[in-house]
């Protein structure tokens, strides 16, 4: 059995976090993951504060197991959401797309474990000094907002930079990826793309099918021009956006091109206008299954590999 400091810190059976995916990670997915022994995570980037509170209450009604909430720091009403999470005393807060320093004291005071996503060793050191309990080192293989580093290069460097536990993210969807992450020094993994195929994941049928049918080169990064690169499945929208980035369109018009496109993908399954966020590991995600099965397969696979890891050594 793979049991690490992250299991101990958070109170979970398997050292796996389900990524907080904007407009996707709701109470249904988070509860399924937490019931299965991982850490389910609600995204706070989907709606207003009332929606987030409803989702928290819904997970609490479904299970006593720990779960977390992800705060997208580039999002709206972040101050209000930060206060809600302190008031609700959720077990874990993860943050993305920015520096969460100013909220850390308030969350710690509420007894919350604070675990920021970091795209570099520099930010890992900074948040560790500010009291983060662990960090999620997320490589640019992941879906959504991405940094420049690959998981392979980022994880060992972050592990050396800080003395708090590191959770690896970006490009992990099966036992091989999980075993590799542990070998790089991670004490846990965060998985997003693979959970898009979970039965409990409420995305449009079109979105789910696109992920299940995607191959290894199915994604593209757009948005570098505006400083917020985002990885999504190649689609009419992402191709048009990529083209527009190199045209003489104004920054404002370019920004407006993206408005509402995530929602169009998740809720409406709009093939033409939707932005279908997904990671490079989509090619490995080929069947819709319950979240519990996804988790069990990842850890059964990783355990087998790690048990036989020295088989090449004579």
Q: Is 117 a binder of ligand TUI (CB under 6 A)?
A: yes
Binding-site member from 4, 63, 77, 99 for ligand TUI (CB under 6 A): 99
Q: Is 24 a binder of ligand TUI (CB under 6 A)?
A: no
Q: Is 22 a binder of ligand TUI (CB under 6 A)?
A: yes
Between residues 179 and 218, which has the closer beta carbon with respect to ligand TUI? 218
Ordered DSSP codes for 5-54: HHHHHHT-SSSEEE---TTT--HHHHHHHHHTTSBEEEESSSS-HHHHHH
Place of tokens 């939707």: 274
Binding-site member from 47, 98, 185, 260 for ligand TUI (CB under 6 A): 98
The residues, ordered by sequence, that sit 6+ positions from 23 with a Cβ below 8 Å of its Cβ are 43, 45, 46, 262, 263, 266, 267
Binding-site member from 7, 10, 42, 72 for ligand TUI (CB under 6 A): 72
Query: H helices of 22-169, where?
Result: 27-35, 49-62, 78-88, 104-109, 121-129, 151-161
Q: Is 228 a binder of ligand TUI (CB under 6 A)?
A: yes
Q: Is 135 a binder of ligand TUI (CB under 6 A)?
A: no
Q: Is 96 a binder of ligand TUI (CB under 6 A)?
A: yes
State the minimum distance, in angstroms, from the CB of residue 77 to ligand TUI.
14
The residues, ordered by sequence, that sit 6+ positions from 99 with a Cβ below 8 Å of its Cβ are 73, 116, 123, 126, 127
Between residues 35 and 81, which has the closer beta carbon with respect to ligand TUI? 81
State the minimum distance, in angstroms, from the CB of residue 144 to ligand TUI.
2
Tokens of 135: 């960090």
Residues that bind ligand TUI (CB under 6 A): 22, 45, 72, 96-99, 117-119, 123, 138, 144-147, 228, 230, 262, 277
């Amino acid at each position: 059995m793979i049991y690490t400091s992250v299991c101990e810190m958070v109170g979970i059976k398997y050292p796996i976090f389900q990524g907080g995916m904007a407009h996707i990670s709701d109470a249904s997915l988070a509860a399924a993951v937490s019931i299965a022994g991982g850490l389910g995570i609600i995204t706070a980037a989907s709606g207003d504060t009332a929606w987030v509170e409803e989702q928290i209450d819904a997970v609490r009604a479904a299970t006593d197991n720990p779960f977390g909430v992800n705060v997208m720091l580039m999002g709206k009403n972040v101050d209000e959401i930060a206060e809600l999470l302190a008031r609700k005393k959720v077990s874990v807060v993860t943050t993305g797309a920015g520096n969460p320093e100013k909220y850390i004291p308030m969350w710690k005071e509420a007894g919350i474990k604070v675990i920021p996503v970091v795209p570099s060793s520099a930010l890992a050191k900074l948040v560790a000094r500010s009291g983060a309990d662990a960090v999620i080192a997320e490589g640019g293989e992941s879906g959504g907002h991405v940094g420049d580093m690959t998981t392979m290069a980022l994880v060992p460097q972050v592990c050396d930079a800080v003395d708090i536990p590191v959770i690896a993210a970006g490009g992990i969807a099966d036992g091989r990826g999980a075993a590799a992450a542990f070998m790089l020094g991670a004490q846990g993994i965060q998985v997003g793309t693979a959970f898009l195929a979970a039965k409990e994941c409420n995305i449009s049928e079109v979105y789910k099918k696109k992920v299940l049918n995607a191959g290894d080169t199915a994604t593209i990064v757009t948005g570098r021009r505006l400083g917020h690169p985002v990885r999504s499945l190649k689609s009419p929208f992402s191709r048009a956006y990529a083209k527009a980035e190199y045209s003489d369109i104004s920054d404002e018009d370019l920004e407006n091109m993206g408005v509402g496109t995530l929602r169009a993908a998740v809720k409406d399954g709009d093939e033409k206008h939707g932005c279908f966020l997904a990671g490079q590991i989509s090619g490995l995600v080929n069947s819709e299954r319950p979240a519990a099965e996804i988790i069990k397969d990842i850890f059964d696979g990783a355990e087998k590999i790690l048990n036989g890891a020295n088989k090449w050594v004579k």
